[in-house]
Amino acid sequence: MRTELRGKVAIVTGGTSGIGRETAVLFAKAGAKVVVAGRREREGKETTDLLRTAGGDGFFLKTDVSRAADLEALVLRTVEKFGRLDIAFNNAGIEGNWIPIAEQPEEDWDQTIAINLKGMWLSLKYEIQQMLKQGGGGAIVNMGSVAGLIGSAGAATYIASKHGVMGLTKAAALETAKSGIRINVVCPAVIETPMGERLFGTPDARKFALGLHPLGRFGTPTEIAEAVLWMCSDQAAFMTGQSLVLDGGMLAGIKAPA
């Protein structure tokens, strides 16, 4: 069955590359008008070119999700241009610096939490406000991670931010369920994106990370984007407050040695 978003209006934060870009293009192919948000203008315009090539309509707005004024303006501009907001994929995030807690500067914590967690809260705040103003209804997917479900030595700040996203998603879903707004979270393991390359690009790091995935490979942006598309569609109409894990088997348990 083909997933349809015809007539819907969507926002994708962190839409300048990787999973965000792929999701924006899939939204456009499914018939949605798409507003792409991010901090990098050139890459954002590249994404909007791609969604227009795919037959879609949309625009890019430079946005820092850690700033309330930017998120408020993003939703306002979306409604000014397309009249409403039906879907949001809150994908913006950073990995921060992965170093032990005892060695980590306070500014590292502040930056990662500001973007990954405060930015998620601000995104939800203004998206929900608009959806309620329209009379309710809508679908929001937050970008989580397997890091929101496990611990990992040396990545405490990132882990904390993603655990926060998991709790925030559940609370937001409960607050909005009676208004017909569905809020869920997608939780990938390592995906072939620029972030994945930064974290696991060296031969040793790649070998280690691949060993955590029983399927023996990393995921692709398209695989995550397809899941987000489904979660935002009417095909997932009975799903809210839930996490969808796409991890190549990582969380299933300990893989037996070869």
pLDDT in tens, 203-247: 777 887 788 888 999 899 999 999 999 999 999 999 999 999 999
- What pLDDT digit, counting tens, does each position of 107-160 carry? 999 999 999 999 999 999 999 999 999 999 999 999 999 999 999 888 999 999
Q: What is the 3-state secondary structure (H, E, C) of 149-206?
A: CCCCCCCHHHHHHHHHHHHHHHHHHHHHHHHCEEEEEEEECCECCHHHHHHHCCHHHH
Domain ranges, ordered by start, for the chain:
9-247
Which token pair is 112? 């990662």
- Percentage, residues of the chain above pLDDT 90: 80
Over residues 240-254, the pLDDT tens digits come to: 999 999 999 989 986
Supply the pLDDT for residue 253: 81
Q: Which residues are catalytically annotated?
A: 158
Q: Return the pLDDT at 201.
A: 66
Q: Which residues of 68-101 are buried (b: 16+ CB within 10 A; e: fewer)?
A: eebbebbbebbbeebebbbbbbbbbbbbbbbeee
Q: How far apart are CA 98 and CA 130, in angstroms?
A: 36
Q: Decide which of 3.40.50.720, 3.20.20.210, 1.10.3720.10, 3.50.30.30 is the CATH code for 9-247.
A: 3.40.50.720
pTM (2 d.p.): 0.94
pLDDT exceeds 90 at position 28? yes
Radius of gyration of the chain (CA): 18
pLDDT value for 53: 93
Q: Over 60: is that where the pLDDT of 258 sits? A: no
Residue 130: Cβ-neighbour burial (10 angstroms; 0-12, 13-18, 19+)? buried
Could you tell me which residues come within 8 angstroms of residue 253 by beta carbon, excluding any fewer than 6 positions away? none
The number of residues in the chain equals 258
Report yes or no: 219 and 244 within 8 Å, Cβ to Cβ: no
